[in-house]
Structure 1
Amino acid sequence: MELKNSPDPVPSWIPAAGHALRHVGIHFDAVRAIGLLGEEIAYEVMQFTDFHAGPIVRSGIGERSMYFLLAPGTAAGHRWPPGVEAMSRNARGDAFVGVPALDGGTWPLDWRSRPTAQDPFVDGALLHEMAWLRAGCAVRE
């Protein structure tokens, strides 16, 4: 891992080893995209940002979801296309996202894009636009 691309200091919500569940809405909100749609959205966001997209966690089991980590309180501010779900603190209950360590064995989770000091979160507006684009629909608010 290149130190210049690492958050300094490492955010408290990233575990030192392995992976850990983190309560959504405390340190970050999350947007989950399932399967191939998630891969496509991640690639578009990363390409648009010259591969400095901010934190994107990939799950290697089940539906193989991508979790885009946004600043707290921002995910619910957009309407997301089918197959994409905002996860934030709301009245529907608690949500948790698995977060891998920056190094070492973290299976079944890994970083598709790591957080950096310059990019601690994914840009919610860009993610929203790319999600609708990859879902094959015009952007909707």
Structure 2
Amino acid sequence: MNTYNAQADWIPASGLQLRKAGVQFDAVRVDGDAGRALADELARLTGGDPGPIVEAANRRRGVYFLVPVGSTSHRAWPEGVTRLTAGAGHVSYVPVPALEGPTWPLSWRYRPTEPDRRVHTLLLLTALNSHE
């Protein structure tokens, strides 16, 4: 797998930052071990390159699947899934760590490999539904 070395403008140079959903990406959050297992299943299905996936080590231990803007709407998502999107009267923020240096409690489960690559939403949904 190639590692994306050039920094995309949505990845912070250091530490971590919140990014507004609906600009560069939306996100789907699945908490705990279920989210980690899902991320690893997507990696297996995609030959090790599922797209950018962020995990948190605190609280709910959320796993954030960065998907294309608008790709989560008009789909039936299983219970326990949180969609982070933007819309009329609604704004969500997605935590994003830097590629290097201290970023606790966030880290990349799977790093971005290309500037515009995102997790494939339909593949994510299919994998979620197969694990219910």
The TM-score, its normalising length taken from structure 2, stands at 0.92
Q: Give yes or no for the alignment of 1:42 onto 2:31.
A: no
Q: In the alignment, which residue of structure 1 is the partner of 2:10?
A: 13
Q: Give the Cα–Cα distance (whole angstroms) in 1 for the partners of residues 121 and 41 of structure 2.
A: 13
Q: Give yes or no for the alignment of 1:115 onto 2:132.
A: no
**In the superposition, relative to structure 1, how do residues 119 and 103 fare at CA in structure 2: closer, same or farther (>3 Å)?**
same
Q: Give the Cα–Cα distance (whole angstroms) in 2 for the partners of residues 59 and 68 of structure 1.
A: 12
Deviation at 1:74, TM superposition (A): 0.9
> Retained in 2: the 8 A contact 1:53–1:119?
no
The TM-score, its normalising length taken from structure 1, stands at 0.87
**In the superposition, relative to structure 1, how do residues 99 and 118 fare at CA in structure 2: closer, same or farther (>3 Å)?**
closer
Q: In the alignment, which residue of structure 2 is the partner of 1:63?
A: 60
Q: Aligned residue pairs: how many? A: 132
Runs (4+) of structure 1 moved beyond 2 Å?
Answer: none
Deviation at 1:87, TM superposition (A): 1.4
> Retained in 2: the 8 A contact 1:7–1:120?
no
> Retained in 2: the 8 A contact 1:37–1:83?
no
Show CA shifts across 1:75-110 (max 9, x none). Answer: 224221011122111235211011000111110000
For structure 1, the 5+ residue unaligned runs are 137-141
> Retained in 2: the 8 A contact 1:76–1:87?
no
Q: Give the Cα–Cα distance (whole angstroms) in 2 for the partners of residues 66 and 94 of structure 1.
A: 19
In structure 1, what residue type is equivalent to 2:21? V
**In the superposition, relative to structure 1, how do residues 20 and 132 fare at CA in structure 2: closer, same or farther (>3 Å)?**
same
**In the superposition, relative to structure 1, how do residues 47 and 92 fare at CA in structure 2: closer, same or farther (>3 Å)?**
farther
> Retained in 2: the 8 A contact 1:30–1:86?
yes
> Retained in 1: the 8 A contact 2:8–2:115?
no
Show CA shifts across 1:54-84 (max 9, x none). Answer: 1000011101010000111112242210111
Q: For residue 75 of structure 1, give the secondary structure of its aligned residue in structure 2.
A: coil
Show the 5 A alignment for 1:1-141: 4-6=2-4, 8=6, 10-91=7-88, 93-117=90-114, 120-134=117-131, 136=132
> Retained in 2: the 8 A contact 1:54–1:119?
no
Q: For residue 37 of structure 2, give the secondary structure of its aligned residue in structure 1.
A: helix
